Amino acid sequence: MRTKNAKTIHLKDYRPPDYLIDEVELVINLQDESTHVTSRLHIRKNPASEAIKPELKLDGEALQLQNIELDDQPLGKEAYQVDERSLTVPNVPERFTLTTQVVIYPQQNTNLEGLYRSGGLYCTQCEAEGFRRITYYLDRPDVMARFSTTITASQTDYPVMLANGNCVDERELEDGRHQVSWKDPFPKPCYLFAMVAGNLQFQQDCYTTCSGREVDLRIYVEPENIDKCGHAMSSLKKAMAWDEAQYGREYDLDIYMIVAVNDFNMGAMENKGLNIFNSKYVLARADTATDSDYQGIEGVIAHEYFHNWTGNRITCRDWFQLSLKEGLTVFRDQEFSSDMGSRGVKRIEDVRLLRNHQFAEDAGPMAHPVRPDSYIEINNFYTVTVYEKGAEVVRMQANLLGPGLFRKATDLYFQRHDGEAVTTDDFVRCMEDASGRDLSQFRLWYSQSGTPVLEVEAEYKVQQSSYRLRFRQHCPDTPGQQNKKPFHIPLEIALLNSEGRELQLQLRNEAEPQGTRRLLELSEADQQFTIVGLDEKPVPSLLRGFSAPVKLRYPATDEELMFLMARDTDPFNRWDASQALAQRTLLNLVADYRAGKTLELAEGLVKAFETALSNETADKALLSEVLQLPGESTLGDQMEVVDVEAIHHVREWLRHALASRLRQRLLAVYQQNGSQSPYDIDPVSIARRRLRNLALDYLMQLHEPEIHKLCFEQFEKADNMTDVMAALSSLANTDCPERDLALAAFEKQWIGEPLVMDKWFAVQANSRLPGTLQRVRALMNHAAFSLRNPNKVRSLIGVFCSMNISAFHKIDGSGYAFLADQVITLDRLNPQIAARMMRIMSRWRRYDDQRQALMHAQFERVLSHSEISKDVYEIASKSLAEAADDQ
Ligand code: TRP
Ligand code: ZN
């Protein structure tokens, strides 16, 4: 093993903790060079412990221990042991207090875990295992304690000091310092601890809960951002009302605080009563944030709020159960966003994310179950599988139970497990107990990794007026898992007649039709259903609403796809048919291109697009989704060996061909959907902008000076960031004089706004023009760029390596070397972010031999560094391991 800490942790080794902590009193003294933390823990032996020795072992990393007392008696050096990761006290009583004093250095903390500085602020991030960088503790989620926190600091530099719960005391000290105390009445695991200190202002509001309690709502930001909190605040109030109406969940403290910070590893964190957010998910003003930023804020604010019940009141027993809180909370935030905006479009966006990223993860060397069996570094398991597939697994249970029983089941879950640290199994048991259903086979969705493939055969028998559907499922092998058992798959179907009407569905063994939409339940590897009483051959609408996270293989004809695209009564399936048709067209073109044939535009797709564009009454949001071609990575996933160049060439060619054939229509769409002032973020306005900007982007493929002018005019005149960014990203892909003018003007205007500059970095990193890598390297020296800021790393390095597929995979290997360079540098600053970047290359086996060799060499280079973190080690070593099935 190259890294000394690279030890694998297994679910099967879970043991209850030997000691419990009832109460924690923290005193945190913030000073210029260092911070002093005194912790007083009220500890007792766990009656459920299996230990024989009376030995207490606390977690602690990067701490300097100054003093230790047991029941207020100082312990001599012989009475305890300290090493790099723990503090052990071999002889402890059944019940005692342990007081430790440590010194930590938040100023030097660049990994953004534990207590760190972001600009002029102090803030914390404790999930998953950051609290052990603040003080010695039992850093595991099944140890729940009541926390009180006292913070002292300079009054002028840190006028605001926050922690979990309610403020119970504030006082001035000598030497210009002050002290604030907070008390959280709810027991919680330490990963939910938070504190913040700095010069912050807040926007305040008030929410009256369903039982009539008043909650003080506050969003804390740096003073220059106080005018960008309105949308976050209104999102929060909507989320609070929604959780009361949909789940009967009321907020439980008198105050709810959100703090926005610029340096943050992920999106946001649900710390009890004191959420800490990446400023990207709080700050918005029409001229600085796009529609999708607004939607992201609404979703993430809701997500963290919903965690108060699904995560905080009921938490995870251990980190293998992460999806207990994340899968469920993502499902809840998805449903909330559907209710706030367009349900059909939200479902499409979520499924697109799942297919593009989660299916890819499931088919690669990092594949793992929703409830993983093992990990080296838990931070590497905050994945699309745990979050997004986890949400699908909850969604399937909600659909299997139906709304009434699902609500009964979640009520039972909240009632049975409030205040506990539980497992995904406990969750499923609530679903079973409330519904009387047996979900034992369903549980395989938590333990088996990989994406099931569902092959469908259909046969219409005229004489019998019957229609037979045969389903065969199999799931490919994944690392460590072979020969999987069949899944319990809920499959929603309808059958359409030639006019697009839904037909009555009656299975052969049924006395009468049971309606037109059905949730079939598959449980065997090979299974058939026969529908009777059909006097014409129907067109099947399968897997409606994407009722299960599977790959459906149904050999639809082009005509069937075009029919479904126009007529299916399920908006998701209308979109899905359009994508299938476009994908088929593109893959045929790729084959032609590889065979050296001249490319020809398939009339089917043109017709389908033309029809869609001419439909005056079409839902514009859905239409925009339909008109988007599948991305290069999606197409690559369909090929035996990804042909980077062919895919890129063909997709660009098709965009150009469609634009030139549909020029007039696209121009009309552009003109008819002109921007309306003032800017509004209702779903209808969002859809108009989306469609108009999509039309513009197609038109920009034509390389006509007139259109360049049109685009630049939109860039200059728009009153909102959505239209500005749409124009700028089209220009960034176009070699025209307006390009540099726009980029320079944008930079000049927004140099002082970090979140807006992220967009400026990202459009350049994603440019299809040649020379982009050199440009990215140069931009790393820009004054607004910093490797210490994760948002900047994601905008420039992340976007280039993961979105600009053909530039990153350039055959000279320059993209791979660049990524490895960045991983090596970043790993010393922030291993979590370095590991996220390393992951981009994890599916290297999907490429041709030459690229494989180049990527392999870069993995070797990263692994040869002696001080590599376990975060990066885990990704790099697992990527190189023999894959069970990486296709
Ligand atoms: N629990 C957080 C959420 O999903 C995410 C989270 C996990 C996180 N680990 C983190 C956020 C580390 C920031 C840093 O809402
Ligand atoms: Zn979450």
Distances (CA, A) of 570 to 396, 502, 507, 522, 525: 17, 10, 21, 21, 27
Query: CA-to-CA distance for 318 and 315, rounded, in angstroms?
Result: 9
Q: Does 382 contact ligand 1 (Cβ within 6 A)?
A: yes
Over the stretch 829-860, which tens digit does the pLDDT of each residue have?
999 999 999 999 999 999 999 999 999 999 99
Nearest protein CA to atom 13 of ligand 1, as residue? 266
475: helix, coil or strand?
Answer: coil
Average pLDDT over residues 654-667: 98
Query: How is 583-609 classified by DSSP, letter by letter?
Result: HHHHHHHHHHHHTTPPP---HHHHHHH
Query: Which ligand is located closest to the Cα atom of residue 267?
Result: 1
Q: Flag whether pLDDT at 576 surpasses 90.
A: yes
Question: In Å, how far are 25, 172, 177, 197 from 201, measured between CA atoms?
Answer: 27, 20, 19, 12
Place of tokens 């803030």: 123
Sketch the domain layout of the chain as residue ranges: 1-97+127-198, 200-313, 319-552
CB-ligand 1 contact for 127 (6 Å cutoff): yes
Does the C-beta of 129 come closer than 6 Å to ligand 1? no
pLDDT for 883 equals 59
Determine if ligand 1 sits within 6 Å of the CB of residue 268: yes
> Which one of the listed residues 25, 222, 270, 304 is annotated catalytic?
304
pLDDT confidence of residue 243: 99
Q: Which amino acid is at 692?
A: R
> Is it the case that residue 311 has pLDDT exceeding 80?
yes
pLDDT at 622 over 50: yes
Measured in Å, residue 553 CA sits from the centre of ligand 1 at 36
From the CA of 192, how far away is ligand 2's center (Å)?
12
Instruction: For the chain, give the mean pLDDT.
Output: 97
In contact, 442 and 409? CB cutoff 8 Å: no
Q: Domain 200-313 belongs to what architecture? A: 2-Layer Sandwich (3.30)
Average pLDDT of span 356-369: 97
pLDDT at 780: 98
Whether 790 contacts 833, CB under 8 Å: yes
- Tell which one of 111, 261, 265 to mutate to probe ligand 1, the residue whose CB is within 8 A of the most ligand atoms: 265
Ligand 1: atom nearest CA of 267 is 11
Q: What is the C-alpha to C-alpha distance for residues 805 and 798, in angstroms, rounded to an integer?
A: 11
Write out pLDDT tens, residues 585-606: 999 999 999 999 999 999 999 9
474: CA distance to ligand 2 center in Å? 31
Give the model's confidence band at 1: pLDDT under 50 very low, under 70 low, under 90 confident, else very high: very low
Pocket test for ligand 1, best of 266, 281, 315, 378 (most atoms within 8 A of CB): 266
Task: Locate the ligand 1 atom nearest the alpha carbon of residue 832 and give its number.
Answer: 12
pLDDT digits (tens, 9 = 90+) for 745-780: 999 999 999 999 999 999 999 999 999 999 999 999
Q: Give me the DSSP letters along 330-353.
A: HHHHHHHHHHHS-HHHHHHHHHHH
* 884 — pLDDT class (breaks 50, 70, 90): very low
pLDDT score of 887 more than 60: no
Q: How far is the CA of 286 from the centre of ligand 2 (A)?
A: 27
325 C-beta closer than 6 A to ligand 1: no
CA-CA distances (angstroms) from residue 306 to 114, 215, 242, 255, 299? 23, 16, 10, 15, 10
Q: If you take atom 5 of ligand 1, which residue's CA is the nearest one?
A: 269
Predicted local distance difference test score (pLDDT) of residue 676: 81
326 lines ligand 1 (CB under 6 A): yes
Q: Is 170 a catalytic residue?
A: no
> Cα of 740 to ligand 2 centre, how many Å?
40
Pocket lining: 562 vs ligand 1, CB cutoff 6 Å: no
Is residue 3 over pLDDT 70? no
User: Residue 180 pairs with which residues in a beta bridge?
Assistant: 151, 170
Q: Tell me the pLDDT band of 886, cut-offs 50, 70 and 90.
A: very low
Q: What is the pLDDT confidence band of residue 5, given thresholds at 50, 70 and 90?
A: low
- The single-letter code of the amino acid at 165 is G
Percent of the chain with pLDDT over 90: 97
Q: Tell me the CATH number for domain 1-97+127-198.
A: 2.60.40.1730
Residue nearest to atom 7 of ligand 1 (CA): 127
Q: Order of strands, edge to edge, in the sheet holding 274-278?
A: 201-208, 214-221, 255-261, 274-278, 268-269
Q: What is the pLDDT of residues 475-527, one digit of tens each?
A: 999 999 999 999 999 999 999 999 999 999 999 999 999 999 999 999 999 99
| CATH homologous superfamily for the domain 319-552 | Neutral Protease Domain 2 (1.10.390.10)
pLDDT score of 885 more than 50: no
How confident is the model at residue 618, as a pLDDT? 86
d(CA 111, CA 830): 4
Q: Tens of pLDDT along 697-751?
A: 999 999 999 999 999 999 999 999 999 999 999 999 999 999 999 999 999 999 9
Mean pLDDT in residue range 40-61? 97
270 Cβ inside 6 Å of ligand 1? yes
Q: What is the pLDDT of residue 615?
A: 87
Q: Is 269 in the pocket of ligand 1 (CB under 6 A)?
A: yes
